[in-house]
A = this chain, B = another copy of it.
Amino acid sequence: MNGRSAMRLARLQEALVGGGTIHLSEAARLCGVSEMTIRRDVAASDGAIVFIGGRLVMADNPQFAPVYDLDEQRGSHYFAKQRLCHEAAAFIEEGDTLFIDCGTTLMPLVSLLSSFNALTVVTYALNVASAVAALPGVRLILLGGLYHDSSQSFGSDDMDEAIERLGINKAFISAAGVDPERGVSCFHFHEVAPKRAAIAAATQCILVVDETKLGVIRPARFAGLEAFDVLICDGEAGQALSSWQRHATATRIRILLA
């Protein structure tokens, strides 16, 4: 990609941020180049803007649900996550202060918040923040710091203190691995502090993972299973289920299947 091309894309991106589409011809006119050049720009770009039937739309704006075809979404566990989040949303009440963890698992939860009008969301994830910022009735508190690309989230030394100062009601936590003996873990160490602080601060802790995470151990352990009040999981393959129910009664965790 070249400099001028990047500038045109930025120009178009600015036009499309906040939603909407523009037709190829319109985009070409706007940038003062031919339609073919716009096509080439978009094709060579990182995929932030895509074509849909001769129109340009923002694709990766987390503010919106993905544009991809539904069968692709099916493949990427999109529907599974949607179901999980639907279950999770049932715990939310008007006036709550929610902690929402980073990752893609809890993204569908954000779009379910639009029906409330007195929520506060605390997060340290950029994608979550961008999505929440678009909701009119939801207050957003972003815990800043140094950005980590790997998890689209921020990390800082005093994040735990910042979380302590907030009155968090319910914490929705995601994880990359959940094991009854070895606890709940994630990939990145900078996520440990905010997760722990949120779990400690929250009245109710809800762990949301899809079933591929069960029995898996990742490098950064941040809690034991007993730290959570509810585990929301999708039990398509119910084989491991019975053993998990045993663990559940042992740790008093409540398992919900989406």
A interface with B by C-beta (< 8 Å): 3, 6-7, 10-11, 14-23, 26, 29-30, 46, 48, 51-55, 57-58, 61-71, 73-75, 78, 82, 104, 107-108, 111, 114-115, 124, 126-127, 129-130, 132-134, 136, 139-147, 149, 152, 154, 162
Q: How many copies does the complex hold?
A: 2
Closest to A16 in B: B67
Bound-state Cα–Cα, A246 to B108, Å:
57
Question: Are B134 and A20 in contact (CB-based, < 8 A)?
Answer: no
Bound-state Cα–Cα, A142 to B114, Å:
25
Question: Are B108 and A65 in contact (CB-based, < 8 A)?
Answer: no
Interface of A is mostly: mixed
Q: What are the residues of chain B within 8 A of A23 when measuring CB–CB?
A: 66, 69
Q: What are the residues of chain B within 8 A of A104 when measuring CB–CB?
A: 14
Question: Are A63 and B71 in contact (CB-based, < 8 A)?
Answer: no
Closest to A1 in B: B114
Question: Are B142 and A22 in contact (CB-based, < 8 A)?
Answer: no
Question: Are A147 and B154 in contact (CB-based, < 8 A)?
Answer: no
Question: Are B63 and A58 in contact (CB-based, < 8 A)?
Answer: yes
Q: What are the residues of chain B within 8 A of A54 when measuring CB–CB?
A: 53
Question: Are A141 and B145 in contact (CB-based, < 8 A)?
Answer: yes
If A20-B67, A20-B70, A52-B64 are given as contacts, then 15 extra A-B residue pairs at C-beta distance below 8 Å, sorted by A number, are A7-B108, A7-B111, A14-B104, A16-B67, A21-B63, A22-B67, A30-B75, A48-B134, A52-B55, A53-B55, A57-B64, A132-B147, A139-B146, A140-B146, A141-B146
